[in-house]
Amino acid sequence: MVHYGHSNQLRQARAMGDYLIVGVHTDEEISKHKGPPVFTQEERYKMVQAIKWVDEVVPAAPYVTTLETLDKYSCDFCVHGNDITLTVDGRDTYEEVKQAGRYRECRRTQGVSTTDLVGRMLLVTKAHHSGHEISSEYREYADSFGKCPGGRNPWTGVSQFLQTSQKIIQFASGKEPQPGETVIYVAGAFDLFHIGHVDFLEKVHGLAEKPYVIAGLHFDQEVNHYKGKNYPIMNLHERTLSVLACRYVSEVVIGAPYAVTAELLDHFKVDLVCHGKTEIVPDKDGSDPYQEPKRRGIFCQIDSGSDLTTDLIVQRIIKNRLEYEARNQKKEAKELAFLEARRRQEVPRERESDWDF
């Protein structure tokens, strides 16, 4: 997958130098070393390119990073999270560049992993929503999801993401609309931020010569009201960072009202309001949530050209449920074996990675 944990590591990596090149693995490489990817390689190439700290994407990057690869793209060094990523046979994929002194580390984002997000989709619970108390069922799942028999790895599994003001500041642009810029407002759940969202926001961004795109994110309970089941998969805090990391978005309204009101339009001095081709669910009183921008003649419907939805991503996961559970068991078994070997060598512990695009 590509999630805000990856975005945060790319943000940290970009701050270490002047130009950030991101290598993205193929589906074949990920399937061989880790398990079935959630997003296809083409989706992941475009997703990573849409992250605002990325200068260049290298498709089909080798799973094991070598000095030859760094030299090919004129890179001084490579960056990875402070955890371990292993090959199918249990080797550290950064061993060669570490030995050559061309390796740097950044801090892994606590509280998010592909393992956790996949688990939320498989376990139909609302425990991850803001304001929901974590149930005993979810705690039991968090302790056991994808664990290999007898596994005692303290790192594979689920932890809770804790939002801070500092994290939002790090992700936010901090820029206000300037004279001559066109303020465009979009609203929605933006759950499991994916290529459909990227395509939509890219088209919205292209509607003006100098766009200032504001994304309004609905509260978890609001999203659950119109989406049902255990949606949103990502809570409001997580969705905020996912959208802020996108290069086409200038500002985010955290907990935007479902109806686009006159007050909201006037407050942000909105010139244009856009919505995709997805169904517009009426407000709780039966009214059209976009009636005010339509009345003002500033409403525009955009066809992203993508048919990918959050529902389709969840369907991919459920279809491959057994494969994903096996992936996590295999991942933990590799991690435990690596740690045991490290302990024998009396080397400090490291963590196995969910940071593979």
Q: Is the model more confident about 152 or about 221? A: 221
Decide: residue 334, CB within 10 A, 0-12 exposed, 13-18 middle, 19+ buried. buried
Asked if residues 168 and 241 have their Cβ atoms less than 8 Å apart, the reply is yes
Write down how long the chain is: 357
Q: Does residue 68 share a domain with residue 24?
A: yes
Q: Say how far apart CA 100 and CA 244 lie, in whole Å.
A: 35
Which of 299, 317, 348 terminates a domain? The answer is 299
Poorest-pLDDT segment among 23-27, 88-92, 98-102, 272-276: 88-92
Which of 99, 126, 159 terminates a domain? The answer is 159
The verdict on residue 279 lying in a domain is: yes
Mean pLDDT taken over the chain: 86
Q: Does residue 272 share a domain with residue 190?
A: yes
Q: Does residue 36 share a domain with residue 12?
A: yes
CATH number, domain containing residue 171: 3.40.50.620
The verdict on residue 93 lying in a domain is: yes
- pTM confidence score: 0.84
Q: Does residue 260 share a domain with residue 182?
A: yes
Domain membership of residue 91 as a residue range: 2-109
Q: Which of 62-71, 81-90, 348-357 has the highest mean pLDDT?
A: 62-71
Instruction: Name residue 57's beta-bridge partners.
Output: 22
Q: Does residue 228 share a domain with residue 261?
A: yes
Which of 109, 144, 173 terminates a domain? The answer is 109
Instruction: Tell me the average pLDDT across 201-205.
Output: 98
- Is residue 148 predicted with pLDDT exceeding 60? no
The verdict on residue 348 lying in a domain is: no
Q: Percentage of the chain with pLDDT > 70?
A: 84
> 132 is written with which tokens?
């929901």
The verdict on residue 354 lying in a domain is: no
pLDDT level of residue 101 (50, 70, 90 thresholds): very high
The verdict on residue 168 lying in a domain is: yes
pLDDT level of residue 343 (50, 70, 90 thresholds): confident
Q: Does residue 219 share a domain with residue 325?
A: no
The verdict on residue 351 lying in a domain is: no
Instruction: Tell me the average pLDDT across 268-290.
Output: 96
Q: Does residue 187 share a domain with residue 143?
A: no
Q: Does residue 295 share a domain with residue 239?
A: yes
Asked if residues 108 and 9 have their Cβ atoms less than 8 Å apart, the reply is yes
Residue type, 156: T
Task: Return all residues near 187 (Cβ < 8 A) that are at least 6 apart.
Answer: 215, 216, 217, 218, 253, 256, 258, 260, 275
pLDDT at 142: 46
Count how many domains the chain has.
4
- Give which of 226, 238, 236 is closest to 278, Cα–Cα: 226
Q: Is the model more confident about 157 or about 264? A: 264
Q: Does residue 247 share a domain with residue 149?
A: no
Poorest-pLDDT segment among 77-86, 177-186, 296-305: 77-86
- Is residue 132 predicted with pLDDT exceeding 90? no
Residue type, 286: G
The verdict on residue 328 lying in a domain is: yes
The verdict on residue 350 lying in a domain is: no
Over the stretch 40-51, which tens digit does the pLDDT of each residue have?
Answer: 999 999 999 999
- Give which of 113, 47, 45 is closest to 352, Cα–Cα: 113
Q: Does residue 32 share a domain with residue 6?
A: yes
Q: Does residue 149 share a domain with residue 71?
A: no
Q: Does residue 82 share a domain with residue 35?
A: yes
- Is residue 97 predicted with pLDDT exceeding 80? yes
